């Protein structure tokens, strides 16, 4: 519905047509909550299935270290590495339209796993040693690896993805106090509202905790521990006092 609404909005700004019914049409779309983030147990189970020196392990390390999109992963390689102030970085321009350039420090876990693999044009390669031709072929392979690790739904389909790694890292950063601008820089987002999806939840939790501490301090807290129900008699005496 975005396309017809945009077209009719363009016309409405030019006095035609007025109050079009197109703006009253409901999409009927029901959000499913998005990708499910990887839990610590998910990661442990996956890495126990796929050990070091495998392309599967390298793919996971790359996804976690860069928290990038599946569309960028097949094309990252040594040419994306750079040194800034004697610190090793990995940097690239996200392929998704409207995304920003990303430059982040190289992750130790990724660096260690790369030592187990020969240097090639791209970090990831097929079983024939060639780069993945497209993101779709890598995505299909990732789903098979996830299924092999037993991370599936009731239908036997993969219930985790590379995108859910990206989502999980964003939540982890936000939970540890990352600001919206920091998330925007790390993930290549150009709008604060995207980062705000992650920071809002944890900022509210932190604000609630701070407010609770202030209330406890004002009352000379912490409150004494209550052991069992308070009797009616004791309440009456308190009121008299």
- Adjacency order of strands within the sheet including 101-105: 81-84, 87-93, 101-105
Task: Check whether residue 112 and residue 164 sit in a common domain.
Answer: yes
Tokens 């008299």 belong to residue: 240
Contact present, 92 and 67 (Cβ < 8 Å): no
Residue 111 sits in a domain of what CATH number? 1.10.443.10
For the ranges 21-25, 67-71, 144-148, 169-173, the lowest mean pLDDT is seen at 21-25
Task: Check whether residue 87 and residue 62 sit in a common domain.
Answer: yes
Task: Check whether residue 7 and residue 78 sit in a common domain.
Answer: no
For the ranges 34-43, 173-182, 210-219, the lowest mean pLDDT is seen at 210-219
228 falls within a domain: no
What pLDDT does residue 30 have? 64
208 falls within a domain: no
117 falls within a domain: yes
Task: Check whether residue 18 and residue 133 sit in a common domain.
Answer: no
211 falls within a domain: no
Compute the half-sphere exposure of residue 192: CA atoms within 13 Å on the CB side of its CA: 5
Task: Check whether residue 52 and residue 7 sit in a common domain.
Answer: no
Contact present, 146 and 46 (Cβ < 8 Å): yes
Task: Check whether residue 91 and residue 130 sit in a common domain.
Answer: yes
pTM for the full predicted model: 0.73
Tokens 């202030």 belong to residue: 214
User: In this predicted model, which residue has the larger pLDDT, 202 or 195?
Assistant: 195
Complete DSSP assignment for 26-81: ---------PPPPPHHHHHHHHHHS-TTSHHHHHHHHHHHH---TTTGGG--GGGE
Task: Check whether residue 10 and residue 88 sit in a common domain.
Answer: no
14 falls within a domain: yes
Task: Check whether residue 65 and residue 155 sit in a common domain.
Answer: yes
**pLDDT, tens digit, for every residue of 72-120?**
999 999 999 999 999 999 999 999 988 999 999 999 999 999 999 999 9
Task: Check whether residue 1 and residue 116 sit in a common domain.
Answer: no
Task: Check whether residue 68 and residue 114 sit in a common domain.
Answer: yes
Contact present, 188 and 174 (Cβ < 8 Å): no
State the pLDDT confidence band at 24, using cuts at 50, 70 and 90.
confident
What pLDDT does residue 33 have? 58
30 falls within a domain: no
Find the mean pLDDT for residues 200-205. 78
Task: Check whether residue 14 and residue 101 sit in a common domain.
Answer: no
**Which residue range is the domain that position 131 belongs to?**
40-202
Measured distance CA(190)–CA(99) in Å, rounded? 6
Find the mean pLDDT for residues 58-65. 95
* Rounded percentage of the chain residues whose pLDDT exceeds 70: 85
Task: Check whether residue 126 and residue 189 sit in a common domain.
Answer: yes
Number of domains in the chain: 2
Q: Which own/partner contact pairs does 25-30 have at CB distance under 8 Å and 24+ positions apart?
A: 25/1, 27/1
120 falls within a domain: yes
Measured distance CA(77)–CA(82) in Å, rounded? 11
Measured distance CA(165)–CA(91) in Å, rounded? 19
């Amino acid at each position: 519905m975005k396309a017809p609404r945009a077209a009719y909005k363009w016309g409405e700004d030019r006095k035609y047509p007025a109050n079009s019914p197109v703006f009253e049409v409901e999409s009927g779309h029901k959000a499913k909550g998005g990708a499910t983030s990887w839990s610590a147990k998910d990661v442990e189970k996956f890495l126990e299935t796929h050990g070091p020196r495998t392309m599967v392990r390298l793919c996971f390390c790359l996804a976690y270290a860069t928290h990038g999109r599946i569309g960028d992963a097949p094309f990252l390689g040594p040419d994306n590495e750079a040194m800034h102030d004697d610190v090793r970085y990995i940097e690239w321009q996200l392929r998704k339209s409207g995304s920003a350039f990303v430059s982040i420090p190289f992750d130790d876990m990724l660096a260690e796993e790369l030592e187990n693999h020969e240097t090639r044009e791209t970090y990831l390669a097929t079983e024939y040693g060639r780069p993945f031709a497209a993101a779709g072929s890598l995505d299909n392979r990732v789903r098979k690896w996830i299924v092999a690790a037993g991370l599936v739904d009731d239908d036997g389909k993969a219930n985790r993805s590379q995108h859910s790694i990206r989502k999980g890292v964003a939540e982890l950063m936000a939970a540890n106090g990352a600001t919206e601008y920091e998330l925007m820089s790390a993930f290549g987002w150009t709008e604060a509202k995207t980062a705000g999806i992650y920071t809002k939840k944890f900022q509210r939790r932190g604000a609630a905790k701070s407010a609770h501490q202030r209330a406890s301090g004002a009352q000379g807290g912490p409150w004494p521990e209550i052991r069992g129900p308070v009797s009616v008699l004791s309440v009456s005496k308190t009121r008299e006092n």
